[in-house]
Amino acid sequence: MNPLQPAELLHEGKAKKVFLTNRPDVVAVQFKDDATAFNAQKKAQLSGKGLLNWEISARLFEALEAEGISSHYLGCLGPGWMVVQQVEIIPVEVVLRNRAAGSLCRQTPITPGTPLESPLLDLYYKDDDLGDPLLTEARLELLGLLRKEERDEIERIARAVNSALQKLLAALKIELVDFKLEFGRSPSGELILADEISPDTCRLWDAGSAEAESESRILDKDRFRKDLGGVVEAYGEVLKRVQGMGSAPRQYR
């Protein structure tokens, strides 16, 4: 078979570009250095971020696969490039929380950092112009975004991802505070875990940090959101630990 070649640009998002390829239903994703926060109101270029998120995400998708959790991920094409199954992204952001942070604390009286006894699942409507509003189950149904079986399947997968990621990151002395997943539908209509899993989409705290209560433990995009500096360095620390799990991400063939 001919080697996989990226072809025309299909879609450019905030953090990634998606290219068609010379194979049907297979697309190539390039991770960008652009950083955005607050629905893209805050923007910056962070040199090296794309490569870090690419490798962290590839390794985490492979680790999930080893735990029986499949995704759109097929392999890598070279530094910064991931090969994935083409899906149509469902405009629902699926957030799983183990500790209170971010919007949960802005929208409720819960104190930041409070451990949540049972991991909380929150669904948001993915629409920057509307500010990614929180969905109720009734609004989800009203908008017809997911079939009932898909909504339940998404929750099952998100909770399985949470258990698997929590365990593997804990072994690397990283606490998984919360994270966001996206799902898509394949051309045959199958529900598939998609997007990326990286410090852009997860809150990660250094469990090995001596200063347990300080901001120095933050190893994720909150460093950018809160102007704490050291964003690329923190992502680099996550990659260094994740590299400790095993071999380099596989090449797509």
Using CB under 6 A, list all residues that contact ligand UDP: 93, 95, 101-104, 132, 178-180, 201-203, 221
Question: Would you say 49 or 180 has its CB closer to ligand UDP?
Answer: 180
DSSP-derived secondary structure letter, 2: P
Cα gap 152→205, rounded to integer Å: 29
Contact (CB, 8 A) for 124 and 182: no
Question: Would you say 203 or 223 has its CB closer to ligand UDP?
Answer: 203
How far, CA to CA in Å, does 146 sit from each of 75, 128, 165? 28, 19, 25
Question: Would you say 4 or 95 has its CB closer to ligand UDP?
Answer: 95
Residues forming a β-bridge with 81:
30, 78
User: Nearest-CA neighbor of 182 among 61, 63, 67?
Assistant: 61
The CB-of-28 to ligand UDP minimum distance in angstroms stands at 22
The CB-of-103 to ligand UDP minimum distance in angstroms stands at 4
Contact (CB, 8 A) for 18 and 9: yes
The CB-of-189 to ligand UDP minimum distance in angstroms stands at 25
Question: Would you say 55 or 93 has its CB closer to ligand UDP?
Answer: 93
Contact (CB, 8 A) for 2 and 252: no
The CB-of-106 to ligand UDP minimum distance in angstroms stands at 7
The CB-of-181 to ligand UDP minimum distance in angstroms stands at 9
Question: Would you say 126 or 241 has its CB closer to ligand UDP?
Answer: 126
The CB-of-114 to ligand UDP minimum distance in angstroms stands at 13
Using Cβ positions, the residue closest to ligand UDP within the complex turns out to be 102
Question: Would you say 21 or 221 has its CB closer to ligand UDP?
Answer: 221
Environment class of residue 26 by beta-carbon count within 10 Å: exposed (0-12), middle (13-18) or buried (19+)? middle
Place of tokens 């400790």: 244
**Strand, helix or coil at 47?**
coil
